[in-house]
Structure 1
Amino acid sequence: MSAIDGLPPLRAVIAAHELSAKKALGQNFLLDLNLTAKIARSAGELAGADVLEVGPGPGGLTRGLLAEGARRVLAVEKDARCLPALAEIAAAYPGRLEVINADALRLDVTAHLCPPIKVVANLPYNVGTELLVRWLTPAHWPPFWESLTLMFQREVAERIVALPGSKAYGRLAVLAQWRSDAKIVMRLPPEAFTPPPKVASAVVHLTALPAPRYPADPEVLERVVAAAFGQRRKMLRASLKGLSPEIEGLLEAAGIAPTDRAEQISIAQFCALARMLAG
């Protein structure tokens, strides 16, 4: 599909605006509008929602979101070279696309969006995980977003959906699955991108839960999980000893063997231990 909206194909847009991808910005452009439309559809019904997109680049996914009926798209782009191409999309969809030239890590997007809000993005590789952790750990829950549909390196995507007992299970899995339902909805090979990255990619869809799965203080849980997986090869009685001088007793009270290792512990058990520490 070369066009979905009467605008030029993405390769022509990139050539016209001389938009070579910058490695320093974590850019890998997805040029196939069939794929960008498929990613947009994997976010669910868009017609009644505002959509936040981070790192739109030349606007392939932006066009997919608008063509799939997003009520409004807020595109946050750090690279000023992309602004003229995005302005052409805004002109084709009057009143439905707002582009902000800013660093998404420093911008309060909530002032520009109206609920319900969905986040859909082919995230720049160099900030993707940090943005995800921020969206999963707001001061108050439920968050500003209803769902996140995000492209990551496949390894990161698999860490988000990993289950206890697997090598990929870690801090990201606990943070994501404690407060959301997470699943991989698409896998993409390197050759789908320009330039092709060295790794495969995947799209993860996360739906915010009304409340966390298990009660726990978020800050305490974060400290427990960070300490446990920071030394994941050690037994928990060793990796968590800095949290309390009575850690062995607290582990046993939470139903955890002190000789277990982090990857063996379920989210429910981590939350139980966080409650013991908080209490």
Structure 2
Amino acid sequence: MAGRAGLTAKQAAAAHLRLPPLPSTRDLVKLYKLRAVKQLSQNFLMDHKLTSKIVRSSGRVRDCHVCEVGPGPGGITRSILEQGAAQLTVIEKDPRFLPTLEMLKDASKGKLDIELGDVLSFNMEKIFSSDLRQPWDGHLPKIHLIGNLPFNVATPLIIRWLKDISLKHNAWVNGRVCMTLTFQLEVAQRMVAPPGHVQRCRLSIMCQNWCHVVHKFTIPGRAFVPKPDVDVGIVHFIPRIEPQIPLDFGLVEKVIRCIFSFRQKYCKRGAGLLFPESQRDELVEKMFTVADVNPTLRPFQLALSEFNRLCHTYAAILEQQPSLEKFNSRERKIIKDDVDYDSDGNEI
């Protein structure tokens, strides 16, 4: 009897999570004549097995508050609700998707909220209850960020969010909120690339410094509508309790950006962009000597521990010569008020 009762309870729980019968995402796209806008790098994922796999790869979402960025017609949205999220907030920029999202909202029994806005400037702090907050060095909060973002947004967004993580702003006032996002496969490979790997780049260091990064799986481009020219990588981020380079985001970003400016040359070549020509040779030599880093290694050969020593040494040099902080090399304008990145992780 106990086994039968237990099974009945499971069935009741499953029934509670199940959405009312709805047209498939593919049918809704046809019904509302929704087309992906090429200029916005939109690609729809309408395979229910794949959207469910993305949600599962983010961890357990049941009884958690989820924020989905860029839901589009709602394929992943549906899978999040089906897997038992306590509350789901979606942030969508394109109002054409409101009818399909409103349909899911009506079926969600009050669990879905829709925010129309640009995720690049959206402050997620206001959508999560303060009851969900956890100490930074404590358990992960019951909050997830999930998104199948347009390629032209995904990389600039993760850079901005890494800065928010470093400051514990935005969603991260609530603790170490995890992210599960889609990227072009090559970008996903760059994010997880180890020292010496052909894909190792500035983006690798930035992501790995502030987060534990895992490339969960790959979705072939043919699964999307319209089919992109590349495959897609699903990447999971868990913010670190302490970054491996525990310094100001801007300083770390500046040093990494300069050193990777000449990826195939000795790393001392890019480091020279940090200093005026009159002091360049002297300070570059000092920087690498004090940091105990071989200046004739290529940037992609350096480990995070070596970047850590270089950043700390540069910070010490700035303490002695504060004017260098705003130095703008004539060879390359390396200091900008706001640095943006394209879909390949390159500065624009």
Please give the range of the TM-score, normalised by the shorter of the 2 chains: over 0.9
Gaps in structure 2 of 5+ consecutive residues: 1-17, 133-140, 317-348
**Partner amino acid for 1:259?**
T
**Partner amino acid for 2:82?**
A
1:269 counterpart (302, 306, 310): 306
Gaps in structure 1 of 5+ consecutive residues: none
State whether residues 154 and 200 of structure 1, in contact with CA within 8 Å, keep that contact through their aligned partners in structure 2. yes
Bigger drift between 112-121 and 175-184 goes to: 112-121
Equivalent residue pairs, number: 276
Which aligned pairs between 1:121-136 and structure 2 lie closer than 5 A?
121-136=147-162
Distance between the aligned counterparts of 1:42 and 1:8, measured in 2?
25
Which aligned pairs between 1:80-119 and structure 2 lie closer than 5 A?
80-114=95-129, 115=132, 116=141, 117-119=143-145
Report whether the alignment pairs 1:140 with 2:167.
yes
Distance between the aligned counterparts of 1:85 and 1:126, measured in 2?
23
Tell me the secondary structure at the aligned position of residue 297 of structure 2: coil
Q: Deviations over 1:212-239 (max 9, x none)?
A: 1343332211111011112212222221
Q: TM-score, normalised by structure 2?
A: 0.76
Distance between the aligned counterparts of 1:194 and 1:10, measured in 2?
12
Report whether the alignment pairs 1:248 with 2:273.
no
Q: Deviations over 1:29-48 (max 9, x none)?
A: 00111111111111111123
RMSD over aligned Cα atoms: 1.5
Report whether the alignment pairs 1:223 with 2:275.
no
State whether residues 260 and 267 of structure 2, in contact with CA within 8 Å, keep that contact through their aligned partners in structure 1. no
State whether residues 220 and 274 of structure 1, in contact with CA within 8 Å, keep that contact through their aligned partners in structure 2. yes
**Percent of aligned pairs sharing the same letter:** 36
**Partner amino acid for 1:140?**
L
Distance between the aligned counterparts of 2:242 and 2:81, measured in 1?
31
Distance between the aligned counterparts of 1:226 and 1:120, measured in 2?
28
Tell me the secondary structure at the aligned position of residue 137 of structure 1: helix
State whether residues 52 and 120 of structure 1, in contact with CA within 8 Å, keep that contact through their aligned partners in structure 2. yes
1:261 deviates by 1.6
**Partner amino acid for 1:153?**
Q
Report whether the alignment pairs 1:9 with 2:24.
yes
Which aligned pairs between 1:1-279 and structure 2 lie closer than 5 A?
5=19, 6-114=21-129, 115=132, 116=141, 117-138=143-164, 140-141=167-168, 143-144=172-173, 146-244=177-275, 245=280, 246-279=283-316
Q: Deviations over 1:181-228 (max 9, x none)?
A: 111111111111111101111101111111113433322111110111
**Partner amino acid for 1:174?**
I
Distance between the aligned counterparts of 2:85 and 2:270, measured in 1?
46
**Partner amino acid for 1:37?**
S
Q: Deviations over 1:53-83 (max 9, x none)?
A: 1111110000111111112111111111100
1:276 deviates by 0.7
Tell me the secondary structure at the aligned position of residue 19 of structure 1: coil
**Partner amino acid for 1:182?**
V
Structure number, greater radius of gyration: 2
Distance between the aligned counterparts of 1:36 and 1:185, measured in 2?
13
State whether residues 217 and 274 of structure 1, in contact with CA within 8 Å, keep that contact through their aligned partners in structure 2. no
Q: TM-score, normalised by structure 1?
A: 0.94
Distance between the aligned counterparts of 1:266 and 1:230, measured in 2?
17
Tell me the secondary structure at the aligned position of residue 94 of structure 1: coil
